[in-house]
Amino acid sequence: MIRIVIADDHELIREGVKKIIRSSADLRIVGEAADLARTLALVAQHQPDVVVLDISLPEHDGLEGLAELRRQFPEQKVVMLSMYAEERYAVSALRAGAAGYITKAMAAEELVKAIRQVVAGSTYIGPRLAELLARQALDPEPRPSHHNLTAREAEIVALIGAGKQVKQVAAELGISVSSVNTYRNRIFRKMGLSSNAAVIRYALKSGLVS
């Protein structure tokens, strides 16, 4: 029996994941969590074979959450569950210690296979992401991800990188908070990031802010 902990802050997503897992007799859910602290407690309590971890838990960059989970439980196998299909998210997750990466859109088709594969000691990324990664490998000189941003998106990255909050960015640019959030979500997708903290780190590392 493969024992599983589910970590996602959206109850509907957790219910969907549970339905998928319960369709297989060899899989058993031993706990579910909506935040990182509860996830860590469940892992300590149940020592599951696999944690299915959302890439963007509340108050944590999902990859920071993954890093903390792996720091406390170095042998724990983790399948990242993400709304992002871009290959750079998968690469970042695997580098941070995930054993598998699937998108929520493909969970019904791939989750059970991913769980079984990582328990067997392999890595799982799914056929679509494998194809994207293969294309990336053939790119002789990929551009830095911020080069794909529009002028407005680049402005917002610079402001967030300087430590400004969403309301401050909106006031400085003369646009609504809703618009800033829309731009920010596009930036996350394009750059393979999932939090303001990650944007700040990228901006500092890339010299976008001093």
One pLDDT digit (tens) per residue for the chain, 210 residues: 999 999 998 899 999 999 999 999 999 999 999 999 999 999 999 999 999 999 877 766 557 788 899 999 999 999 999 876 656 678 778 888 999 999 888 888 899 999 999 999 999 988 877 777 777 666 655 555 566 677 788 889 889 988 899 999 999 888 899 989 998 988 888 888 888 888 888 888 877 765
In the chain, CATH 3.40.50.2300 sits at: 2-137
Instruction: Give pTM, 2 decimals.
Output: 0.67
Are 53 and 80 within 8 A, CB to CB? yes
In whole angstroms, what is the distance from residue 203 CA to residue 195 CA?
Answer: 12
Are 193 and 146 within 8 A, CB to CB? no
CB atoms within 10 A of CB 186: 15
Are 26 and 1 within 8 A, CB to CB? yes
Q: What is the pLDDT of residue 101?
A: 93
In whole angstroms, what is the distance from residue 15 CA to residue 207 CA?
Answer: 43
In whole angstroms, what is the distance from residue 172 CA to residue 159 CA?
Answer: 9
To the question of domain 2-137 being in CATH 3.40.50.300, the answer is no
The distance in angstroms from the start CA to the end CA of the chain is 52
In whole angstroms, what is the distance from residue 153 CA to residue 175 CA?
Answer: 13
In the chain, CATH 1.10.10.10 sits at: 145-206
Pairing of strands 27-33, 2-7: parallel
Which position has the token pair 């976008």?
A: 208
- Architecture per CATH, 145-206: Orthogonal Bundle (1.10)
